Each structure stands twice: as structure tokens, then as C-alpha cells.
Amino acid sequence: MRSAIHLASAALALAALAFGAVPSAVAADTPNPPADAKAFRDFFTQKFPKVKLEDFVNGPYSMNEDLHRQWEEKEQFPPYEFSVDMGKEMFSKPFKNGKSYADCFPNQGIGIRQNYPYFDEKEGKVITLELALNRCREVNGEPPFSFLKDEMAALTAYMAFTSRGKPFDIKIPDDPRALEAYQNGKRYFYTRRGQLNFSCATCHVQSPGERIRAEVLAPALGILNAMPIYRSEWSGMGTISRRFTTCNTQIRGVPLNPQDDEYRDLEYYLSYVSNGLPISGPGARP
């Protein structure tokens, strides 16, 4: 344990000092999602005027020319092809009880990814695509998959593929619990955590386009549109759950369980503020 105690608290103290108060406008107390979404989009379009709005979904590849060329090279025959085919095959194979995923989703699960996550007013919580898929399995007497990769990545890859080009269309119903879930997701997004004391915003709002060692940071606008992703780093597929939990670990924060409320709300917030941007999943990433 090389990191001595003064090190940790010193780093923390200095981080707190450095983030001195910015004379920011008084944030309205009741959250105003439409205004947030507009401010969110304007922040990134003004920060990167040369990037077309729909290109933000390409993450680091919209930030760096050398990376963009490597991406185009991979997109000719992308490594996630196998995952999409596997997902398509799983969609066509019925469960033991004869039903299949198509029976659990509107429009047989085709071309609907852009509507997820949605707020379920009966349950009073956010339902993500990954959660809905595992619930569909459990309702039909099948064991749930890991939320992180392999089968779950294949299913979400296929569903995303069938929605390519459709703009994110996340709704916040007139229900105080929905507003609270949205606000909870926003709070998580901006809250600094882990010994490195980073929040999602530290990297994806303050420093998109900059490098963190070898990787160029993606802008937060449209950051979920390409999910699930085949990352060279993982040399395999990963879902939104895998990305959230590995991000936590990288900044030395203990990740929560995949699909815990915080992550569901975070996905709700991030998808909502990217409304209007096209689904581009599944994606390839460094």
C-alpha cells in the first residue's frame, strides 16, 4: 500500500480547494429537464462548433482525426458483427415455454431501443433495456444473464442495431417520482467519487477531447447512443452496466451492483439530455 494517508487526504483537500466556487447562477431548486437538456446540448455544440450534432454519438472518434481514421478502418468490418448476429439468433430462438423476447417488447423488440430507459409509473422506477431483457427471461422461467457482457451485450447489440438512426426519445412523465429519478441521475453524474475524486463530469464535461493517458475522452452528449460497445481494451463487448462499473473502479471507487437504482437513474438522465441524437449502437470503441 504505497499510498500513505496524508497523500489521500491531501489530494482530496487540494481537489476541494481547486474547485473553488464558480460564480454560477443560482440553480433552480425544482429540476427543469427540458431546460437542462437544452443547456447540455448548447454547452457541447459551443465547445465543439466544428462537430455536427449527430456526430457527438461517435464519442472519442468525433474528437480526434487520427482516432477517426482508425475507427473508419474498423467500421468497414466491425468486430461487433458477431454479437449482433448472436443477438438476432437469440431473438429467433423461443424459450422453453415457447415464448420469446419478441413477446416481451412492443413491436417485437425491433426498432425500439431509442425509447429506453423509460419511467414505469406502476413500479415508480426507471426501467432500462438491460433490466427489461432479464425480467423478460425471468417471467418466462429462464435464468437471468449477467448484465455486463456476452448474451446481454448480444441482445442489446441486436436491439440497438434495429434502431440505428432513430433519435433518442426519452420521456419524463408528469410524476414527481420520475422527476426525482431524473434528478438523482443528474446528481450521480456530477458527484465526485473514488480516491481520484473524479465525477463523470470531470472527464466527460470538463475535458472531452483531451487525453487520459492513451485514451481520448468522449463528450457526455450522446455518450450512450453507441451502446453496447466492443472495446479493444476489453477485446470484447460491454454493456452500459459494464461501462459504469469499470469507470467507477478506474477512479478507485467501489462500483455498485449493475442496475442498482443509481445506475438506472444515471442512464435515465444521460439518455434524456441526449434526446434527438441518433442511436448508433452497437459501437466500436478504443
Partner 1 sequence: MDRTDTRFSAPRRLILQGIGAVALVGLGNIAFVSSAFAAANDKYPEDAFKAKTEADAIKALYGKTAEASDKVKLDAPEIAENGAVVPVSVTTTLPDVTSISFLVSENPVVLVASYKIPAGTMPSIANRIKMAKTSNVIVVVEAGGKVYSTTKEVKVTVGGCGG
Partner 2 sequence: MSIVRKSGNRFSKEIMLKNKSRMLRASTLSLALALLMAGATPVLAADSEVDFRAAYAAAETANKEAGLLRNQWTVTAAALAEARKAADKGDFDQAIASSKEAEALAKASIFQATSEKTLWKELEIH
Partner 3 sequence: MASTIRVRATSNGDITEVQALIQHPMDSGFVKDAKGEIIPPHFIQQLTFEYDGKSVFVADWGGGVSKDPYVKFSFKGGKKGDDLKISWVDNKGATDTTTAKIQ
Q: How far apart are CA 245 and CA 148, in angstroms?
A: 9
Least CB distance from residue 235 to partner 2, whole Å?
A: 23
Report the Cα–Cα distance between both ends of the chain, in Å, rounded.
30
Q: What is the CA radius of gyration of the chain?
A: 19
Asked whether position 213 contacts partner 1 by CB under 8 A, the answer is yes
Q: Cα-flanking dihedrals φ and ψ of residue 208, to 5°? A: -60, 145
Asked whether position 139 contacts partner 2 by CB under 8 A, the answer is no
C-alpha cell at 107: 413491436
167 contact, one of partner 1, partner 2, partner 3, none, CB 5-8 Å limit per kind: none
Least CB distance from residue 214 to partner 3, whole Å?
A: 16
Q: How far apart are CA 64 and CA 69, in angstroms?
A: 9
Minimum CB distance to partner 2 smaller for 139 or for 212: 212
**Please, which of residues 81-120 interact with partner 1 by CB under 8 A?**
none
Handedness of CA 35, 278, 106, 160 (dihedral sign): negative
**Please, which of residues 46-85 interact with partner 3 by CB under 8 A?**
76-77, 79, 81-82, 85
Q: Which of 71, 91, 145, 161 binds partner 1 (CB under 8 A)?
A: 71
Q: Cα-flanking dihedrals φ and ψ of residue 162, to 5°? A: -75, -10
Nearest C-alpha neighbor of 237 from the set 78, 127, 128: 78
Minimum CB distance to partner 3 smaller for 97 or for 232: 232
Tell me which residues are annotated as active site: 247
Are 172 and 33 in contact, with CB atoms under 8 Å apart? yes
3-state secondary structure of 100: coil
**Please, which of residues 199-258 interact with partner 2 by CB under 8 A?**
199, 201-202, 205-207, 210-213, 249, 252-254, 256
113 contact, one of partner 2, partner 3, partner 1, none, CB 5-8 Å limit per kind: none
**Structure-derived torsion over alpha carbons of residues 86, 88, 91, 95, reported in degrees to the nearest 10:** -30
C-alpha cell at 210: 483531451
Least CB distance from residue 84 to partner 3, whole Å?
A: 11
* Residues of this chain that bind partner 3 (CB under 8 A): 76-77, 79, 81-82, 85, 89, 235-236
* Residues of this chain that bind partner 1 (CB under 8 A): 60, 66-67, 69-71, 73-74, 79, 196, 198, 203, 212-215, 231-233, 235, 249-252, 286
* Residues of this chain that bind partner 2 (CB under 8 A): 1-25, 27, 36, 39-40, 43, 186-187, 190-199, 201-202, 205-207, 210-213, 249, 252-254, 256, 262
